[in-house]
Amino acid sequence: MKIKPLADRVVVQRIEEEEEKKGGIIIPDTAKERPQKGKVIAVGPGRLNDKGERMPMEVKEGDLVLFSKYAGTEVKVGDDEYLVMREDEILAILEE
Amino acid sequence: MKIKPLADRVVVQRIEEEEEKKGGIIIPDTAKERPQKGKVIAVGPGRLNDKGERMPMEVKEGDLVLFSKYAGTEVKVGDDEYLVMREDEILAILEE
Amino acid sequence: MKIKPLADRVVVQRIEEEEEKKGGIIIPDTAKERPQKGKVIAVGPGRLNDKGERMPMEVKEGDLVLFSKYAGTEVKVGDDEYLVMREDEILAILEE
Amino acid sequence: MKIKPLADRVVVQRIEEEEEKKGGIIIPDTAKERPQKGKVIAVGPGRLNDKGERMPMEVKEGDLVLFSKYAGTEVKVGDDEYLVMREDEILAILEE
Amino acid sequence: MKIKPLADRVVVQRIEEEEEKKGGIIIPDTAKERPQKGKVIAVGPGRLNDKGERMPMEVKEGDLVLFSKYAGTEVKVGDDEYLVMREDEILAILEE
Amino acid sequence: MKIKPLADRVVVQRIEEEEEKKGGIIIPDTAKERPQKGKVIAVGPGRLNDKGERMPMEVKEGDLVLFSKYAGTEVKVGDDEYLVMREDEILAILEE
Amino acid sequence: MKIKPLADRVVVQRIEEEEEKKGGIIIPDTAKERPQKGKVIAVGPGRLNDKGERMPMEVKEGDLVLFSKYAGTEVKVGDDEYLVMREDEILAILEE
Residue E92 clears pLDDT 70, i.e. is over it: yes
Nearest to G94 among F1, F9, F48 (CB): F1
Q: Stretch G2-28: mean pLDDT, rounded?
A: 78
With CB atoms and an 8 Å threshold, state whether F84 touches G93.
Answer: no
Any idea which of B25-39, F51-65, G69-83 has the lowest mean pLDDT?
B25-39
Q: Is D2 within the bounds of a domain?
A: no
Banded model confidence at residue B96, pLDDT cuts 50, 70, 90: confident
Q: Do chains F and E touch (3 or more CB pairs under 8 A)?
A: yes
Amino acid letter for position D34: R
What's the pLDDT score for residue D18? 58
d(C-alpha E64, C-alpha D4), whole Å: 11
More confident residue, A69 or E48: E48
The average pLDDT across D15-21 equals 64
Alpha-carbon distance of B4 to G24, in angstroms, equals 76
What is the pLDDT averaged over residues C32-61?
Answer: 91
Residue E79 has a pLDDT of 86
**Please, what is the Cα angle at E73 between E67 and E77, to 5 degrees?**
115
Enumerate residues 46 to 85 of chain B having a beta carbon within 8 A of any beta carbon in chain C: 48, 50-52, 73, 75, 77, 84
% of chain B residues with pLDDT over 90: 68
Q: Which chains touch F (3 or more CB pairs under 8 A)?
A: E, G
Measure the N-to-C terminal CA separation of chain A; round to a whole number of Å: 30
**Residue G76 has what pLDDT?**
87
State the CATH number of the domain containing residue C73. Answer: 2.30.33.40
The number of distinct structural domains making up chain B is 1
pLDDT in tens, chain A (96 residues): 899 999 999 999 999 765 455 565 655 555 555 668 999 999 999 999 999 999 999 999 999 999 988 899 999 888 899 999 999 999 999 998
Reduced to 3 states (helix: H, G, I; strand: E, B; else coil), residue G54 is strand
Q: Are D55 and D48 in contact (CB under 8 A)?
A: yes
User: CB neighbours of D14 closer than 8 A, spacing ≥ 6?
Assistant: D34, D35, D37, D38, D81, D83
Range from C45-59, D67-81, F9-23 that averages highest in pLDDT? C45-59
Give the per-residue pLDDT at E76: 87
G interface test, pick of F75, F77, F85, F86 with most G CB neighbours within 10 Å: F75
**Strand ranges (DSSP E) for chain C?**
2-5, 9-14, 21-22, 25-26, 37-43, 64-67, 73-77, 80-86, 90-95
CA distance F83 to E73: 19
- G60: pLDDT strictly greater than 90: yes
pLDDT score of F9: 98
Closest to G71 in 3D by CA, of G55, G82, G80: G82
Does residue A70 belong to any structural domain of this protein?
yes
Domain presence at residue B80: yes
- Give me the mean pLDDT over the E17-31 stretch: 56
User: What mean pLDDT is reported for chain G?
Assistant: 87
Mean pLDDT, residues D46-69 taken together: 95
Contact C6 D36 (CB under 8 A): no
Q: What percent of chain D has pLDDT over 90?
A: 68
Q: What is the mean pLDDT of residues E12-33?
A: 64
Q: Is G51's CB within 8 Å of A49's CB?
A: yes
Q: Are C6 and D91 in contact (CB under 8 A)?
A: yes
How far is Cα F58 from Cα F54, in angstroms, rounded to an integer?
13
Is the per-residue pLDDT at F32 higher than 60? no
Distance CA C31, CA C16 (A): 14
- Looking at residue A94, what is its pLDDT? 96
Q: Of A4-18, A71-85, B54-68, E66-80, which has the strongest mean pLDDT?
A: B54-68
Q: In the prediction, which pLDDT does C79 show?
A: 87
Residues of B whose CB is below 8 A from C48: none
Band (pLDDT 50/70/90 cuts) for residue G13 is: very high
Mean pLDDT, all residues of chain C: 87
The amino acid occupying position G84 is V
Please say if the pLDDT value at position F78 is more than 90. Answer: no
Within chain D, how many helices (H) and strands (E) appear?
0, 9
pLDDT at residue G24 greater than cutoff 70 = no
Distance from CA of C96 to the nearest CA of B (A): 4
Q: Is residue F1 in some structural domain?
A: no
Interface of E with D in 20-39 (CB under 8 A): 36
Which subunits have 3 or more CB–CB pairs within 8 Å of chain G?
Answer: A, F
Distance, in Å, from the CA atom of F26 to the CA atom of F16, rounded to the nearest integer, reads 15
* Mean pLDDT along residues F2-10: 97
| SS3 call for D89 | helix
CA distance B78 to chain A (A): 31
Q: Does pLDDT of E90 surpass 60?
A: yes
Does the residue D4 lie in any domain? no
For residue D61, what are the domain limits? 9-16+25-94
What is the pLDDT averaged over residues E37-62?
Answer: 96
Q: Which of B72, B69, B68, B74 is nearest to B85 (CA)?
A: B72
Give the nearest chain F residue to G92 (CA atoms).
F5
Q: Is pLDDT above 80 for F73? A: yes
